[in-house]
Amino acid sequence: MQLWIRSQDQEILELITYLGIHKGLNDTWVVEGGDVTGIYKTKKRALKILDEIQSILDTNRTEQYVTTNGGGICAKQTLIYQMPKE
Residues paired with 73 in a beta bridge = 67
User: What's the confidence (pLDDT) of residue 59?
Assistant: 81
For residue 3, the tally of other CB atoms under 10 A from its CB is 19
pLDDT (average), residues 34-60: 91
DSSP the chain: -EEEEE-TTS--EEEES--EEEE-GGG-EEEESSSEEEEESSHHHHHHHHHHHHHHHHHHHTTSS-B-TTS-BPPPPEEEEEPP--
d(CA 41, CA 13): 22
pLDDT in tens, 73-83: 555 678 888 98
The pTM for the full model equals 0.75
